[in-house]
Chains A and B, each alone.
Chain A
């Protein structure tokens, strides 16, 4: 039915080729190499920044909001003028590995070269080979829309010196091949840390909090380490695979940014690769067990929150917070609910959210919006309630936090 499904089948046959390996001569026009590149481009989700919705594939034009201003994802079709058709393979690899474009132009790390630098040269070349088969587009993109002084690319030399260390990911011999494959997919291709690892004030990864959750554009991408309260520690490998593959598992449904990731990237990956990712993530156990005490049930915020919950939320999420698998996310024991940062929760309650829909889980159920009905204090109370009921424990939410999220969302 769809071309990617065929590609997955083919890619699966070449599972051995996909593991990082030593340099060897490859024919950049070979069918299997191009197919490998297509799979890698899906895993790395190049389309997220380089394919405009409804636009030609990889022809650029996607506006990328950064705290420093807007960038536009460039045209990476093989067009010699508007795209990268004139680039040599080494120049292409340098963009991924070193953050340096053709002619020495420094890239902004909106292009996640700090992650892609970990990718093997073979994989980078495979992606190149695939991109060369794309229909050339003459769509001219002026990528750099940043205001002065950020528009000066030379600034990036300084930034790189402070924050970036190029280099491939070396496998850890004390871990299994599957674990290493998982780490490679997470760090080098999927670049999960770009959303899930908090950033320093300069916008670089805070490695001490690797994958422990980060806020971006008014959403909180949760902790995806194996923390049992705030991370995916209560999920089995199978549940995590289901989530990445179908967008839903027994407890949760991907939405917003992660929903797009599932629909465009991980739902097209092989079961073996998804299992590798899961194997890797569940191994990231936190150093110290968390012993947070919940807000007391008698707290007036909890009492009001319970009334609000009963009247607004239990019709879908149930009195016990269990929800319905693949329809209404479970709140009891949920890591999204117990995240340190309640930004995503606030947004979801205020404005609603639509769950990801894949062929395997096509329902795409949506959470209705409550901003018209609940004021800031009420949203804060009901969120405090769900964060601290049914053996959940997390910080209370304040009306001020709700107001901040509301204000931020109001400005486009």
Chain B
């Protein structure tokens, strides 16, 4: 295959549009990106896909914390005949990876002082970011369980006891140190549900277990052929951002 004598598909477009440019040729240079009369800016292979979570060691939790979280998520979403529970679905892995990232550090939130408790209408005002919340409250939970259950940690309790503790946290009956029990419970519950139903790329919803439980077809984009089919079950299996097994060519 011989190439011919032709100009490379050029940087013509790129140079005319993106990147840092001088303004109007006759003036000082302002930064930020400037787009000026020409074409719609575009570059090939310019993507920002989510970074898949890789299985492996915990990135944030200690071994003890992980054991407690795995036990918690497996009570919040227990395994049964309809499918895996929170642990089997990878919810603890999901939470671990989230806490290791911008969610865990509240990087996107307004975290300037002063921090003052307000009314419920004014929303969360705590300076404690999620990863701190988990660390502090898991330690407090550990303390509580050991004190209440003859030295056993949460993970070592039986299912009924674990449920009892979780109920207590939910209602506020079990306050934990710094009164953080309820806040902690709400956070864990929300993150567990996120992990169970988010795209498997984030470490939870393993094998699309959460989606299979409810019948959500996942990262699909075209239902035109089914809009008019009222009251009929949707036939296609769920697909994740990273695909489904049917994409694999055998052999």
To the question of whether A and B form a pair in one complex, the answer is: yes
CB–CB A73/B7 < 8 A: yes
Cα A198 to Cα B222 with chains together (Å): 39
**8 A Cβ contacts from A37-90 to B:** 48-49, 53-54, 62-67, 71, 73
CB–CB B9/A219 < 8 A: yes
Q: Is B12 an interface residue (CB 8 A)?
A: yes
Which residues of chain B have C-beta atoms less than 8 A from A108's C-beta? 5
Q: Is B42 an interface residue (CB 8 A)?
A: yes
Cα A371 to Cα B225 with chains together (Å): 28
Closest CB of chain A to B243's CB: distance in Å? 7
CB–CB B9/A257 < 8 A: yes
Which residues of chain B have C-beta atoms less than 8 A from A217's C-beta? 3, 6, 8-9
Q: Is A372 an interface residue (CB 8 A)?
A: yes
Cβ contacts B208-221/A at 8 Å (1 or 0 each): 00000000000111
Interface residues of B, dominant DSSP: loop
Nearest B residue (CB) for A195: B6
Cα A199 to Cα B250 with chains together (Å): 37
Which residues of chain A have C-beta atoms less than 8 A from B250's C-beta? 300, 304
Closest CB of chain B to A145's CB: distance in Å? 13
**8 A Cβ contacts from B1-58 to A:** 1-13, 15-16, 39-40, 42, 44-47, 49
CB–CB B5/A110 < 8 A: yes
* Stretch in B88-96, B108-116, B234-242 with 4+ CB within 8 Å of A: B234-242
Which of A49, A214, A307 is within 8 Å of B7, CB to CB? A49
Q: Is B244 an interface residue (CB 8 A)?
A: yes
CB–CB B5/A260 < 8 A: no
Q: Is A120 an interface residue (CB 8 A)?
A: no
Which residues of chain A have C-beta atoms less than 8 A from B16's C-beta? 53-54
CB–CB A352/B244 < 8 A: no
Closest CB of chain B to A104's CB: distance in Å? 21
Which of B2, B39, B224 is within 8 Å of A67, CB to CB? B2
Which of B10, B42, B242, B251 is within 8 Å of A373, CB to CB? B242
Which residues of chain B have C-beta atoms less than 8 A from A65's C-beta? 3, 6-8
Nearest B residue (CB) for A264: B12
CB–CB A352/B44 < 8 A: yes
Known contacts A54-B15, A369-B46, A373-B49: A308-B247 contact under CB 8 Å: yes
CB–CB A311/B6 < 8 A: no
Which residues of chain A have C-beta atoms less than 8 A from B6's C-beta? 64-66, 110, 194-195, 216-217, 257
CB–CB A373/B241 < 8 A: yes
Q: Is A403 an interface residue (CB 8 A)?
A: no
* Most B CB within 10 A of own CB, among A198, A303, A308, A353: A308
Which residues of chain A have C-beta atoms less than 8 A from B122's C-beta? none
Closest CB of chain B to A35's CB: distance in Å? 25
Q: Is B248 an interface residue (CB 8 A)?
A: yes
CB–CB A63/B8 < 8 A: yes
Cα A66 to Cα B8 with chains together (Å): 9
Q: Is B249 an interface residue (CB 8 A)?
A: yes
Known contacts A194-B6, A215-B3, A217-B9: A304-B248 contact under CB 8 Å: yes
Cα A219 to Cα B47 with chains together (Å): 21
Which residues of chain B have C-beta atoms less than 8 A from A319's C-beta? 222, 225
Q: Is B246 an interface residue (CB 8 A)?
A: yes
Nearest B residue (CB) for A112: B5
Which of B2, B42, B236 is within 8 Å of A310, CB to CB? B236
**8 A Cβ contacts from A314-363 to B:** 314-315, 318-319, 341, 350-354, 357
Closest CB of chain B to A224's CB: distance in Å? 15
Which residues of chain B have C-beta atoms less than 8 A from A381's C-beta? 247, 249
CB–CB B244/A311 < 8 A: yes
Closest CB of chain A to B109's CB: distance in Å? 28
Which residues of chain B have C-beta atoms less than 8 A from A300's C-beta? 249-251
Cα A202 to Cα B3 with chains together (Å): 10
Known contacts A215-B3, A350-B45: A53-B249 contact under CB 8 Å: no
Which residues of chain B have C-beta atoms less than 8 A from A371's C-beta? 45, 47
Cα A372 to Cα B239 with chains together (Å): 16
Q: Is A368 an interface residue (CB 8 A)?
A: yes
Which of B4, B12, B242, B243 is within 8 Å of A195, CB to CB? B4
Closest CB of chain A to B112's CB: distance in Å? 36
Q: Is A272 an interface residue (CB 8 A)?
A: no
Which residues of chain A have C-beta atoms less than 8 A from B248's C-beta? 304, 377-378
Cα A148 to Cα B250 with chains together (Å): 48
Nearest B residue (CB) for A191: B6
Cα A374 to Cα B4 with chains together (Å): 30
* Most A CB within 10 A of own CB, among B9, B13, B42: B9
CB–CB B2/A203 < 8 A: yes
Closest CB of chain B to A59's CB: distance in Å? 14
Q: Mark A residues whose CB is within 8 Å of B.
A: 48-49, 53-54, 62-67, 71, 73, 108-112, 194-195, 198-203, 214-217, 219, 256-257, 260, 300-301, 303-304, 307-308, 310-311, 314-315, 318-319, 341, 350-354, 357, 364, 366, 368-369, 371-374, 377-378, 380-381
25 residue pairs A–B, Cβ–Cβ below 8 Å: A49-B7, A53-B11, A53-B12, A54-B15, A63-B8, A65-B3, A66-B4, A71-B5, A111-B5, A198-B2, A201-B2, A214-B4, A215-B1, A216-B6, A219-B9, A260-B12, A300-B250, A310-B236, A311-B219, A354-B42, A364-B42, A369-B46, A371-B47, A378-B247, A381-B249
